Amino acid sequence: MRAKVTVVGAGNVGATCALEVARRDYADVVLVDIVKNFPQGKALDMNQAAAVIGFQSTITGTNGYDETEGSEVVVITAGVPRKPGMSRDDLVTTNQNIVASVTKEIVKRSPKAIIIVVSNPLDAMCHVARAISKLPKERVFGMAGILDTARFSAFIAFETGMSIQDVKAMVLGGHGDQMVPVVSATTVGGVPLQQLVPQKKIDAMVERTRKGGGEIVNLLGTSAWYAPGAAAAQMVESIVLDQKRVLPCTAYLEGEYGVKNLYMGVPVVLGASGIEKIVKLTLSADEKKMMKASSAAVADVVKVLKAK
Ligand code: APR
């Protein structure tokens, strides 16, 4: 039997994630959105794409939550995306209300679900989903690190002319301009990045990664979806197939990496029970400093959340 995965928000990121999950054939997908006919239309289109792509998973579009009952994994992408000139943090109040109401509906029907939050500002929205769902921290976490790492990896591949498949990078911290690309843990084909690219160019790539989301917002007038949708789908896959991949995810930290009671991006083992382990990575003194600054920035946004 296939697993059941719900994606809330049938917009750019949600629809991309839904198709990425469905095409791998291990899960049926329920796609939820508040806009009438919208998720139904997207689901119908995807079910027809199945004939061409060649998968047997089904996608159900709905404006309600009854169809989501018994979902193993729920991806929350509902909310507003940013527009040029906005930071992710500018979305906090609007998306807090949306993520809170969606989480309530989800846990009513799927009390044992694993929730992956994608809506921004990501770290703060994880706090909202956890507070409302009351699920253990291992079952509520966010997608950001895979996306930020993918951006860094793409820039490294452009710069070196080497295959993106051989780039192993790691971007940690909050999903904001203070994120922490861990250069000391970045290699191409096993060779440390610092042996391949001069420091000045690495610094420029780090800066471009930090502003990577904004670069796309400026080009498109709205935020990215192909890489975010694929990144969320990779997390779903590691959970549903119990792959135990080591991926950078936004996890609730209780002292790990010197951060307490805050959601932040760190490497985790992702399997059938959600976050099975937080992997400890030794950071350089500079990287530790950056983690601290990033956690302060996340804490500032969390403070803005209204008590619910
Ligand atoms: N319940 C269900 N769906 C909702 C709700 C709600 N309460 N509120 C909004 N939505 C839906 C919208 O109708 C829309 O279809 O969420 C969808 C969001 O899609 P887009 O506007 O295309 O935004 P997208 O680019 O997918 O980004 C979604 O992910 O990456 C983040 O910053 C991004 O917070 C944003 C989220």
- Return the best residue to mutate from 6, 13, 90 for the ligand 1 pocket (most ligand atoms within 8 A of CB): 13
Q: What is the pTM of this model?
A: 0.97
Q: Is the pLDDT of residue 180 over 60?
A: yes
- Residue 307: which pLDDT band, with cuts at 50, 70 and 90? low
Q: Which long-range contacts (CB under 8 A, 24 or more apart) does 245-249 make?
A: 245/269, 245/270, 246/270, 246/279, 247/145, 247/146, 248/144, 248/145, 248/146, 248/148, 248/149, 248/170, 248/171, 248/172, 249/141, 249/142, 249/143, 249/144, 249/145, 249/146, 249/275
Give the position, in ligand 1's atom list, of the atom nearest the Cα of 225: 25
Which 3 state secondary structure label does DSSP give 140? strand
Measured distance CA(120)–CA(79) in Å, rounded? 8
pLDDT at 290: 93
pLDDT digits (tens, 9 = 90+) for 30-49: 999 999 999 999 999 999 99
Mean pLDDT of the chain, nearest integer: 96
pLDDT at 191: 98
Q: Give the length of the chain.
A: 308
Measured distance CA(119)–CA(125) in Å, rounded? 7
Q: Whose CA is nearest to atom 4 of ligand 1?
A: 78
Helix (H) or strand (E) holding 299: helix 285-304
Distance from the alpha carbon of residue 220 to the mean position of ligand 1, in angstroms = 16
- Residue 25: which pLDDT band, with cuts at 50, 70 and 90? very high
- Return the best residue to mutate from 12, 67, 76, 77 for the ligand 1 pocket (most ligand atoms within 8 A of CB): 77
Measured distance CA(258)–CA(12) in Å, rounded? 35
Helix (H) or strand (E) holding 11: none
Joined together, the tokens standing for residue 88 give 């992710």
Mean pLDDT of 5-12: 98
Measured distance CA(92)–CA(100) in Å, rounded? 12
Distance from the alpha carbon of residue 99 to the mean position of ligand 1, in angstroms = 10
Check if the beta carbon of residue 63 is closer than 8 Å to that of residue 204.
no
Distance from the alpha carbon of residue 65 to the mean position of ligand 1, in angstroms = 16
CA 117 to chain centre: 6
Q: By percentage, how much of the chain surpasses pLDDT 70?
A: 99
Check if the beta carbon of residue 140 is closer than 8 Å to that of residue 126.
yes
pLDDT at 50: 98
Give the position, in ligand 1's atom list, of the atom nearest the Cα of 119: 34
Check if the beta carbon of residue 95 is closer than 8 Å to that of residue 125.
yes
Q: By percentage, how much of the chain surpasses pLDDT 90?
A: 93
Residues with CB under 6 A from ligand 1: 8-14, 32-35, 77-79, 81-82, 91, 95, 98, 101-102, 118-120, 222-223, 225, 228
Mean pLDDT of 180-185: 94
Q: Whose CA is nearest to atom 29 of ligand 1?
A: 119
Residue ranges and CATH numbers for the domains of the chain are 3-142 (3.40.50.720), 145-307 (3.90.110.10)
pLDDT at 88: 86
Q: Is 127 an active-site residue?
A: no
Helix (H) or strand (E) holding 61: strand 59-62
Q: Is the pLDDT of residue 249 over 70?
A: yes
Mean pLDDT of 118-144: 97
Q: Is the pLDDT of residue 308 over 90?
A: no
Catalytic residue (one of 126, 175, 227, 259)? 175
Q: Whose CA is nearest to atom 27 of ligand 1?
A: 81
CA 245 to chain centre: 15
Measured distance CA(70)–CA(106) in Å, rounded? 9
Q: Whose CA is nearest to atom 33 of ligand 1?
A: 81
Q: Whose CA is nearest to atom 10 of ligand 1?
A: 78
Which 3 state secondary structure label does DSSP give 134? coil
pLDDT digits (tens, 9 = 90+) for 90-119: 889 899 999 999 999 999 999 999 999 999
